[in-house]
A and B are shown apart, each in its own frame.
Chain A
Amino acid sequence: MRLVALVLKRLAWLAPTLAGLVAIVFFISRVIPADPVALVAGETASRAQIELLRQKLGLDQPLIVQLAQYYKQLLSGDLGTSLFTTRPVWEDLSARLPATIELTVAAMLVSVVLGIPLGVVSALYRNRFIDHLLRVVTVAGLAVASFWLALLLQLLFAMDLRWLPLQARITGFPPPATTGFYVIDALIEGNFTRLGNVLAHLTLPALTLAFPALATVVRFTRAGVLETLQRSFVTYQRAMGIPAGLIVWKYVLRNSLVSTVTQIGLLFGILLAGAVVIETVFQWPGIGSYAFEAILQSDYPGVMGFTLYAGVVFGVVNLIVDVSHAVLDPREAAA
């Protein structure tokens, strides 16, 4: 019951948070001295032609009126129409969302599934060779620029060894999608050749994106486990003769994960930001490249749409983090 109340409380905060986010980004995007109308009108457009188009698009209205209009649109489920593609922003975003979600989830899976055990191992073998090695790798993970790592992986696995594809989500132009998540689509259709192809394409971008996140997960897990190992209940359990494996993987790990789970929530932000670079290098047709283009062209509706998406993702991820905290440490739900 307390958990449900927590979820409802967090959800109630999400709406005003998003409304505030929209207002901030709305004003920031319009303060930038750029004129998307001039771009849409074309390089040869005269001043009068540009102003006419501005009126047509409603961008000559006072900012506060434009913002009110935008809120009104949002309430009716309309994200507006892109100035450049002339399609509804939701249509543009939904065409790209599955690609980004698939990539982000794959990267998150890699970093969590590998990062937590490696963090535990690193803590258990503190100051021994394996710990030093993992610490070097994790420092590198945080320090290495993702575009550089992407390039190295491309050169090694796609160009020299030719084991993996260089770019794109699938070989050739994609077939009509059922869900837009190619892994799921291939599974639904039972097409394992395509599944292999999709996974092969997913490997390098997911690894590149996962690397810094993996480093963070390893470091926080290591620190958490080291701290928990010092606590008296561990000494007590050892004295009781409980097997070491059980102590570490059940009791110590659960008590160590609170800060790691918080970090995993924050990592979604890193992954979203990283996705812009990774999607560009690997020609991954996701929302990152769309956001990049929208920002560059000052496509206001496009920028706002992406911001809302990022806000919703953060909100939902934070909600999951809060729920996870409550599950890992029931005292939090009670607080």
Chain B
Amino acid sequence: MDQRRKPILPGEINMDQSRRGLLSKISRRELMAYGGTAALAVSAGFDPLRAAGKTRFVFANESDYDTVDPHAAFDVGRVAVRLNIYDGLLRWEDNPAKLEPWVAESHTISPDGLTYTFKLRRGVKFHDGSEVKAQDVVYSLDRILAVGKGAASLFKTMIDPGAAKAVDDYTVTFTLTKPSAIFLAIVPEIHIVNTTLIKKNESGGDWGQAWLSKNSAGSGAYKLAQFDPAIGFVGERFPDHFKGWGPKFIDEIEFRGVKDTNTRVLGLLRGDFQGIGGYLQTDQLDRIKKSGNAQILEAESMRVMMAQFNVTRAPLNDVHVRRAINYAFDYDGFDNDILGGLVQRNPTPLPNTIWGVPKDVKGYSFDIAKAKAELAQASAKIDKPLELAFLTGFQQSEQAAQLLQNGLKKAGIESKVVGYPWPTIVEKFKDANTTPDVSIYWISTYYADPHNWVGEMFSSATAGTFKNASHYKNSKVDELLDKALRSTNQAERAKLYEEVTRIVVDDAAGLWIYNTKWYGPYAAKLKGIAFCPIGSAQEMRTAFYDNEG
């Protein structure tokens, strides 16, 4: 045997190596390992929480936590603050989402659908030890309306300031300006704040906005321990939370804003993070799955990707042109080839998983012959390229626009693909003249009620908003939606929303592509994560490590 290639057995001395210097005895791999150990010792530093035997969870979120005021935001990006630091009267839980009693133990609705009465649990404590009372609920709603941010605009459509009254310490009533079946659905957004604490920190009648943007006044399962708008926030477990705790839990939660997707994924694989947000590409999900130290939880969510048509001007004011566009999009190619089957085809504006979806509606399919046939019936002339708008920075939106452009070309329709940042396109939507012909984006779950989609997307009252960028107006639809809002009977409402959905699909008022499937990348040892479409699984009260440490 060639001596140079002779293997060195464990414990055997290689005379060649013994003649060289000390460093030469160490293989390159060993050298890297030693270097790594030394560097890690420095870079890891000292972790007092681990030393105290406590558990910690770090979540890398795709957007920043620029404020921790629960009434300043109504988005998924900052939902962790609202769900972990604060409580509401009711809360959306599970998937499909169910409205559960939370700080309120029960509620009643007056026969005319105008007055809602909530009975509060006794003994629910704020983080400073004081009790949550009806007066705090009243103040919280008044604050939302006065500050005018987050969910305020939705509340203002049905309730005026001063319409909430504390009957006694544990009973609160809300009197609506008109019956609204979605009131209950948005009650979870009344995050209850500690009135006394905020009043102490008000400045110039600002309802404590400056103070609450970086401090907390809640009763949630975690209390705010640290907040840095440039980094995120840390919550410490609140042992006295009214829901109690199971035998296992996480002592400290940290939510950080980490914008770069790659850094989030690498951080999860490395163990810097135990959970990451954002909708990931197929290759990244595969990479996480194969890593062994992370898991991917899956659930069907409620976030519909769609194309909104500007129906106010030619050629999209012609139903045949709209139908032609619907037939020109390669749904299977997009959902299965481009997105690797990570989504579910969703043929209507309502997510497949919510009530009120007409099961008999199959929607449109990719069929260029049918597209051409519809175009032949169209009276509107397509004398200039259609503007297909996508959201800058959202790759899927751009890919869908390009795929649609390709399909339209086959059908004989010229188009141009244009990207707009979110603030720009919102501004354009306000005026039908500046709204693009076709705009591709998503409608997420702000509240789990069909009104969140078909209600706000096709009501003439919302024309020009982000949800109704098509400026769709149809008196029959308005009438049905109004009926649905006035009724508190879900079965009756479901029928009304089914009818609306049939009308708008037949009218090709938009193009509906898929319902998002949620993929939650978490550390392998993490258990108890409960997904709900409204909270995107960021409520940490039930989470724990299977093998602590």
* Segment at the interface with A among B114-122, B418-426, B528-536, B538-546: B418-426
- Bound together, the chains give a CA A41 to CA B466 distance in angstroms of 12
Q: How far is the CB of A18 from chain B (nearest CB, A)?
A: 25
Q: How far is the CB of B79 from chain A (nearest CB, A)?
A: 14
| B interface residues, how many (CB within 8 angstroms) | 68
- Bound together, the chains give a CA A282 to CA B263 distance in angstroms of 7
A159 near B45: Cβ-Cβ < 8 Å: no
Q: Does A222 reach chain B (CB closer than 8 Å)?
A: no
User: Which single member of B45, B150, B263, B446 contacts A197 (CB below 8 Å)?
Assistant: B45
Q: Does B151 reach chain A (CB closer than 8 Å)?
A: yes
Given A34-B423, A161-B36, A290-B230: A280 and B260 interface contact (C-beta under 8 Å)? yes
Q: Interface digits, B252-275 against A, CB 8 Å rule (1 contact, 0 not)?
A: 001011111011001101101000
Q: How far is the CB of B123 from chain A (nearest CB, A)?
A: 32
Given A34-B421, A39-B426, A163-B40: A193 and B266 interface contact (C-beta under 8 Å)? no
Q: Interface digits, A180-207 against B, CB 8 Å rule (1 contact, 0 not)?
A: 0000000000000110110111000000
Q: Does B430 reach chain A (CB closer than 8 Å)?
A: yes
B153 near A49: Cβ-Cβ < 8 Å: yes
* Segment at the interface with B among A91-99, A130-138, A234-242: A91-99
Given A165-B43, A289-B259: A296 and B230 interface contact (C-beta under 8 Å)? no
B424 near A33: Cβ-Cβ < 8 Å: yes
Q: Does B100 reach chain A (CB closer than 8 Å)?
A: no
Given A33-B424, A95-B228, A172-B45: A161 and B35 interface contact (C-beta under 8 Å)? yes
User: Which single member of B69, B230, B462 contacts A95 (CB below 8 Å)?
Assistant: B230
B230 near A96: Cβ-Cβ < 8 Å: yes
Q: Does B231 reach chain A (CB closer than 8 Å)?
A: yes
* Segment at the interface with A among B12-20, B207-215, B517-525: B207-215
Closest to B66 in A: A85
User: Which single member of B44, B154, B254, B256 contacts A283 (CB below 8 Å)?
Assistant: B256
B230 near A42: Cβ-Cβ < 8 Å: no
Q: Which of B428-461 contact A (CB under 8 A)?
A: 428, 430, 434, 446, 456, 461
Given A161-B32, A163-B40, A167-B272: A42 and B213 interface contact (C-beta under 8 Å)? no
Q: Interface digits, A36-58 against B, CB 8 Å rule (1 contact, 0 not)?
A: 10111111111101001100100
A283 near B260: Cβ-Cβ < 8 Å: yes
Q: Which residues of A contact B67 (CB under 8 A)?
A: 84-87
- Bound together, the chains give a CA A200 to CA B43 distance in angstroms of 5
A173 near B464: Cβ-Cβ < 8 Å: no
Q: Does B72 reach chain A (CB closer than 8 Å)?
A: yes
A53 near B267: Cβ-Cβ < 8 Å: no
Q: Which residues of A contact B46 (CB under 8 A)?
A: 193
Q: Does B385 reach chain A (CB closer than 8 Å)?
A: no
Q: Which residues of A contact B35 (CB under 8 A)?
A: 161, 163
B213 near A86: Cβ-Cβ < 8 Å: yes
A49 near B148: Cβ-Cβ < 8 Å: yes
Q: Which residues of B contact A293 (CB under 8 A)?
A: 64, 66
Q: Does B181 reach chain A (CB closer than 8 Å)?
A: no
Q: How far is the CB of A58 from chain B (nearest CB, A)?
A: 15
Residue among A32, A162, A193, A282 with most chain B CB within 10 A = A162
Q: Which residues of A contact B125 (CB under 8 A)?
A: none
B263 near A167: Cβ-Cβ < 8 Å: yes
Q: Does A80 reach chain B (CB closer than 8 Å)?
A: no
Q: Does B152 reach chain A (CB closer than 8 Å)?
A: yes
Q: Which residues of A contact B428 (CB under 8 A)?
A: 33
Q: Which residues of A contact B422 (CB under 8 A)?
A: 39, 296
User: Which single member of B44, B72, B152, B263 contacts A166 (CB below 8 Å)?
Assistant: B263
- Bound together, the chains give a CA A166 to CA B72 distance in angstroms of 32
Closest to B231 in A: A285
Residue among B47, B148, B256, B462 with most chain A CB within 10 A = B148
- Bound together, the chains give a CA A85 to CA B5 distance in angstroms of 66
Q: How far is the CB of A144 from chain B (nearest CB, A)?
A: 17
| A interface residues, how many (CB within 8 angstroms) | 65
A44 near B230: Cβ-Cβ < 8 Å: no
A49 near B258: Cβ-Cβ < 8 Å: no
User: Which single member of A36, A92, A151 contacts B423 (CB below 8 Å)?
Assistant: A36
- Bound together, the chains give a CA A199 to CA B150 distance in angstroms of 40
A42 near B152: Cβ-Cβ < 8 Å: yes
A174 near B228: Cβ-Cβ < 8 Å: yes
A162 near B263: Cβ-Cβ < 8 Å: no
Q: Does A226 reach chain B (CB closer than 8 Å)?
A: no
User: Which single member of B39, B152, B153, B231 contacts A173 (CB below 8 Å)?
Assistant: B231
Q: Interface digits, A264-298 against B, CB 8 Å rule (1 contact, 0 not)?
A: 00000000000000001111011001100100111
Given A43-B467, A86-B213: A170 and B153 interface contact (C-beta under 8 Å)? no
Q: Which residues of B contact A49 (CB under 8 A)?
A: 148, 152-153, 156
- Bound together, the chains give a CA A120 to CA B32 distance in angstroms of 32
A44 near B42: Cβ-Cβ < 8 Å: no
Q: Which residues of B contact A200 (CB under 8 A)?
A: 39, 42-43
Q: Does B229 reach chain A (CB closer than 8 Å)?
A: yes
Q: How far is the CB of A198 from chain B (nearest CB, A)?
A: 9
Q: Which of A136-165 contact B (CB under 8 A)?
A: 151, 154-155, 158-159, 161-165
- Bound together, the chains give a CA A95 to CA B209 distance in angstroms of 19
Q: Which residues of A contact B427 (CB under 8 A)?
A: 33-35, 38
Q: Does B193 reach chain A (CB closer than 8 Å)?
A: no
Given A171-B43, A200-B42, A289-B259: A44 and B209 interface contact (C-beta under 8 Å)? no
- Bound together, the chains give a CA A33 to CA B456 distance in angstroms of 24
Q: Which residues of A contact B232 (CB under 8 A)?
A: 173
Q: Does B221 reach chain A (CB closer than 8 Å)?
A: no
Q: Which residues of B contact A35 (CB under 8 A)?
A: 423, 426-427, 430
Given A86-B69, A167-B263: A44 and B446 interface contact (C-beta under 8 Å)? yes
**Footprint of B on A, CB under 8 Å?**
32-36, 38-47, 49, 52-53, 56, 82, 84-87, 92, 95-96, 99, 151, 154-155, 158-159, 161-168, 170-174, 193-194, 196-197, 199-201, 280-283, 285-286, 289-290, 293, 296-298
Q: Which 4 A-B pairs have the closest CB atoms?
A: A285-B230, A34-B423, A45-B153, A200-B43
Extra A-B contacts (10), CB below 8 Å, given A154-B263, A163-B35, A289-B230: A33-B428, A38-B423, A43-B466, A46-B156, A46-B461, A85-B213, A87-B210, A172-B254, A173-B228, A174-B228
